[in-house]
Structure 1
Amino acid sequence: MSDALVIGAGPAGLMAAGELARAGLSVTVAEAKPSPARKFLMAGKSGLNLTKDEPFETFLNAFGSAAHTLRPMLSEFGPDEVKDWAEGLGQEVFTGSSGRVFPKAMKASPLLRSWLNQLGDLGVALRTRWRWMGGDDFDTPEGIVTLAPKVTVLACGGSSWSRLGSDGAWTGQFETDDLAPFKPANMGFVVGWSDHMARHFGSPVKNVLLKAGDTQVKGEFVISTRGVEGGGIYAVSAALREGAPLVLDLLPDLSVGQIRDRLAKRRVKESLSNALRKYLRLDPVKQALVMEFARPLPDDITPLLKAMPVRHQGPRPIDEAISTAGGLRFNALDEGLMLRDRPGWFACGEMLDWEAPTGGYLLTGCLATGRWAGRHAARWVQK
C-alpha cells in the first residue's frame, strides 16, 4: 500500500514522485515499459538539452498560448532552478553560446541514475511493466493489481514515439470534452525533392532566418531524404502546422542593398551559381535550395535570397514528432493541476495541452509541471 501513486516514470512523473516523498508520503511509481524515462534517455543521446539560459519573460514566451497558465509553475522552477537541480544530482552543467544548457557529460544516463538513486533513498518504489487500465487497476506481470492510494498523479506523456511509452492510450479514460486533439509538435516536414538534391541529404543548412507567420528564428536545419527537420524547423513548426508558409532568409547578415552591390560585380557570362559562391559565399547546399525553390530564376534574384518560399507537403506523422500539442485541457484542472471532476487525481507533463519548442523549453516544462502537481497533491493529502 502507498499513500501516493504516480502513473508514468518520465521526467514529470519522477519529479512529482520526489515531491510527494519529501512531503513524507509513501510513493509508488507505475511505469508501463520495462524501464523508466525511455524518451528522456533517447533525448539525451545527442546531448541532453536541460533548459535555456535567457531572461524569464523571453523563456516564458516560448510556451505560446499556455504561457499564462504555466507562469506560476515556471516561476518556481525555471532555468536557474533546473541548473541547480541537475548539479544537486552531481551533474555539472555548462551553457553554450546559444544559451542552451547541457550537463557536461552530454548525455542523460548519468543524471537519470543519480535521480533514481535519490528517489530510492526517499523510499519511492518503482514498478515497471505496470500498465494502467483505468481507475486503480493495473495489468502487471503478476496479473491484475488494484491499488488504493490517497492521491494519484498522472504523468502519462503525449502521443509521439509510442515505442518509448507515449502512446496516448490514457485518453480513453477521459471525456472527449476534456481533451484537445493531439497534433505533432517539434517535427519535420515532408518535401518532395528533385533528384539534384540527393547529394545534399544529411547536410545542415546553417545561419538562416526561418519565418512562418509571426514566428521567426535564426538558426539551422537539416536536409533529409524525406524533407526538412532540425532545430530551426522545430522552432517554427507550430506555425507551419497551422498553415503558415515557410520562408527562408538565406543571408540574414546582409541587407538587400549589400547583396545587390555584391552581385553587381558579376561578369556578363559568369554563371549564377559561380556568382552566388564567389560574391555572396553561398555554400553548395544553399545554392541547391535556390535552384530547387527559386526557379524560374528572375533577373533580380536578391528578393528571393532574402525571402525564399519552401514548398512542403505538411508535417511528418505524429509518432515521429519529438513531442505533441493537445491533450488534457487546462480547464479540466484546477490551479494545482487537480482534475475538477476527480478529487485527489492530478496530472502533469506532456499529457497536458501545451507545447514548446526544443532547446530546453520542453524538458523544463515537464519538470516544472511535475513538481507543481506533486507539491499540490501532497498538500491535498495533508489537508
Structure 2
Amino acid sequence: MQDPEPIDALVIGGGPAGLMAADALAAAGRRVVLAEAKPSVGRKLLMAGKSGLNLTMDADPAAFCRAYATGADWLAPLLADFGPREVAAWAGDLGITVFTGSSGRVFPREMKASPLLRAWLARLAGRGVALRTRWRWLAFDGNVVTFATPGGPRRLAPRATVLALGGGSWARLGSDGAWAGILAAEGVPVAPFRPSNVGFARAWSPAMARYFGAPVKPVRLMAGGSAVLGEFVVSARGVEGGGIYALGPLLREGAALTLDLIPGRSQAEAASRLAAQPAKASLSNRLRRALGLAPVKIALLRESAPDAPRDPASLAAALKALPLALDGPRPLDEAISTAGGVMRSGLDAGLMLRARPGTFAAGEMLDWDAPTGGYLLTACLATGRHAGRAAARWNGSPG
C-alpha cells in the first residue's frame, strides 16, 4: 500500500464553496491541493450561469439573512462577514463588473459564469493552488484521506481538510450526496436530504395541457401562515418557479397551498365588478371582462373548483382563496438545491467537524435551506471562506 503523502491543506470539491475555501487557505499562506471528482470544476456554477448568473441580492444585510428562515441565526455571523456587498466587491476584485436588476438581484455584466470562473481559477493558480481533477474521494483511513484517481489509488495526509462536496441534487454535475454515509460512519450527525427550490407534482386533467409552460402572475401564494407575492409556472408535471420555491420548505412539510388569483383587488371590489356583468354571460367572459383574468388563471379556477359558484360574492371569495392540491415535491435530483446534510450540532463555530478535528465542511453540505435569488451562492461563498479561514488557523495534528 502506498505511503500517504503529507500535504499542508486539502480541499475536496470544486464548486463555489470549495474554490472559496481554497482561496482563503492560499491567501493565508497555506499550500493547497484542491481535489475534484469531475473532469473540471465549477460545473454547477456554469450551469446556473446559463440563465444569467445571479450572484447575490442588493439587500440590507439583516433582511438578506432573515430569508434563510431556520438557518438564519446559524449563518448570521458568516453573512455579516461576507454578505451581498462583499460578494459584489469580490467579483469586482476578479475584474467582473456587476449590476443590480429591477428585482434587486445582482448579476455579472456579461450575465455568464464562465468569465468569473476563469478569472477565479487564474487567481488560484497564481496563489499556488494545485488542482487535481478526476480525483474521487473514497474514505477516511484514520488521518489519511483516500482517493481513486486516473493514475490509481492515492493517499494523502493533510494537516487540515475542507470538505465542500455539495448537496444531494444534480448528481450528473457531481453533487450526489454519496459523502453522507462516509461522514455518518465517522460519527458526524447528518440529516436526510430534502429537495429545496424544487417544483411540486400535480396530476392535471387533460384540459390543462394547453396551459403547460404558462406563467401565472401576479399571484399571491399562501401556505403554513406565510404568503409571497410572485409568480409560478404550470408544467406537465405540476407547478414550479419562484413563488413555489419560496414556500417550498412549508409545502415540503405538508402545508396546503392557497392562491389569491387577484392580489391587486379586494374581495369586495371583485364581487362588485362581477355583479355588474350580464347574468347570462359565460363564466370565462365574466372573469375576463370584469377582472381581466388571464386564461391560465381561469383554467386553474375550473381545475381546482370545478363547481365554482356563479354568484359574485362566492366567486370573488374563491378567486381570493383558491386551494390548489399538490402531490409532494418533485424528485431530489430535480431540485436546484437541497436541505439536509451536516447538522449544526456536528460543527463548531469554525465549521470544523466535532467528530474529526482538523476537518471542516462548507457549502451545500450543511443543513440549511436557501431561497433562490443569489442566497444559495452567497451562503456557499460565505461558508467556504469561513471554513477555509478556520482551516488556515488550524495547527493541530494531521486530519
1:10 aligned partner, one-letter code: G
2:7 partner SS: coil
1:216, CA displacement in angstroms?
Answer: 1.6
Distance 1:251 1:54 in 2: 28
Q: Is the 8 A contact 2:198 2:336 kept in 1?
A: yes
For 2:70, the aligned partner's letter is: S
Q: Residue 116 of structure 1 aligns with which residue?
A: 121
Please state how far the C-alpha of 1:187 moved relative to its aligned partner: 0.5
Q: Partner amino acid for 1:33?
A: K
Structure 1 residues 354-373: aligned runs within 5 Å: 354-373=368-387
Which has the higher mean CA deviation after the structures are superposed, 175-184 or 345-354? 175-184
Distance verdict in 2 for CA 1:36–1:214, change over 3 Å: same
User: Contact 2:188/2:355 (CA < 8 Å) preserved in 1?
Assistant: no
Kindly state the Cα deviation for residue 103 of structure 1 after the two structures are TM-superposed: 1.1
Whole-Å separation in 1 of the counterparts to 2:286 and 2:60: 41
Determine which of 35, 56, 64 is the counterpart of 1:59.
Answer: 64
The letter of the residue matching 1:149 is P
Q: TM-score, normalised by structure 2?
A: 0.94
Alignment partners' CA distance in 2, 1:54 and 1:301: 39
Deviations 1:321-342 (A, max 9, x none): 1111110111111100011121
Instruction: Count the aligned residue pairs.
Output: 383
> What CA distance in whole angstroms lies between the structure 1 residues aligned with 2:122 and 2:285?
59
| Percent of aligned pairs with the same amino acid | 62
SS at match of 1:374: helix
- Give 1:2 deviation, angstroms: 3.3
- 1:13-35 deviation line (CA, Å, top 9, x unaligned): 00000000000011111000111
Partner of 1:380: 394
Partner residue, 2:189 = 178
| Cα separation, 1, equivalents of 2:63 and 2:224 | 19
Which runs of 5 or more residues in structure 1 are unaligned? Answer: none
Distance apart, 1:245 and its partner CA: 0.5
Q: Contact 2:159–2:396 (CA<8 Å) still a contact in 1?
A: no
* Structure 1 match to 2:3: none
For the residue of structure 1 that corresponds to 2:18, the secondary structure is helix
Given the two structures, how large is their TM-score scaled by the length of structure 1? 0.98
C-alpha separation in 2, matches of 1:128 and 1:216: 44
Distance 2:55 2:335 in 1: 19
Q: Is 2:192 the counterpart of 1:200? A: no
Q: Paired residue for 1:16, among 1, 11, 21?
A: 21
**Separation in 2, partners of 1:151, 1:180:** 24
1:256 matched to which residue of 2?
Answer: 267
Hey, what does 2:78 align to over in structure 1?
73
1:143 to 149, 152, 159: 152
2:353 to 336, 339, 343: 339
| AA of the residue aligned to 1:173 | I
Residue type at the aligned position of 2:83: G
* CA 161–344 in structure 1, closer or farther in 2 if over 3 Å, else same: same
In structure 2, distance between residues paired with 1:36 and 1:59: 28
Query: How far off is 1:260 after superposition?
Result: 1.3
Asked whether the equivalents of residues 40 and 133 of structure 2 are also in contact (C-alpha less than 8 Å), the reply is yes
1:274-313 correspondence to structure 2 within 5 Å: 274-298=285-309, 299=311, 300-313=314-327
Between stretches 200-209 and 18-27, larger displacement belongs to 200-209
* Deviations 1:156-195, CA, capped at 9 Å, x for gaps: 1100011110001111212376011111111101111111
CA deviation after TM superposition for structure 1 residue 382, in Å: 9.0
User: Where do residues 6-45 of structure 1 align in structure 2 (5 Å cutoff)?
Assistant: 6-45=11-50
Give the Å deviation of 1:53: 1.5
Q: Are residues 1:107 and 2:112 paired?
A: yes
Moved over 4 A (4+): none
Instruction: Check conservation: 2:358, 2:396, Cα contact below 8 A.
Output: no
> For residues 318-374 of structure 1, what are the alpha-carbon distances to aligned partners after superposition, in whole Å with 9 as ceiling and x for unaligned?
111111111011111110001112111000000011111111111111110000000
Amino acid aligned to 1:234: Y
* Greater Cα shift, 52-61 or 307-316: 52-61
Alignment equivalent of 2:366, drawn from 352, 369, 376: 352
Instruction: Say whether residues 1:165 and 2:174 are aligned partners.
Output: yes
User: For the residues of structure 2 that align with 1:10 and 1:201, how far apart are their CA atoms?
Assistant: 33
Alpha-carbon offset, residue 57 of structure 1 = 2.0
Distance in 1 of aligned mates of 2:258 and 2:164: 37
Residues 133-142 or 90-99, more deviating: 90-99
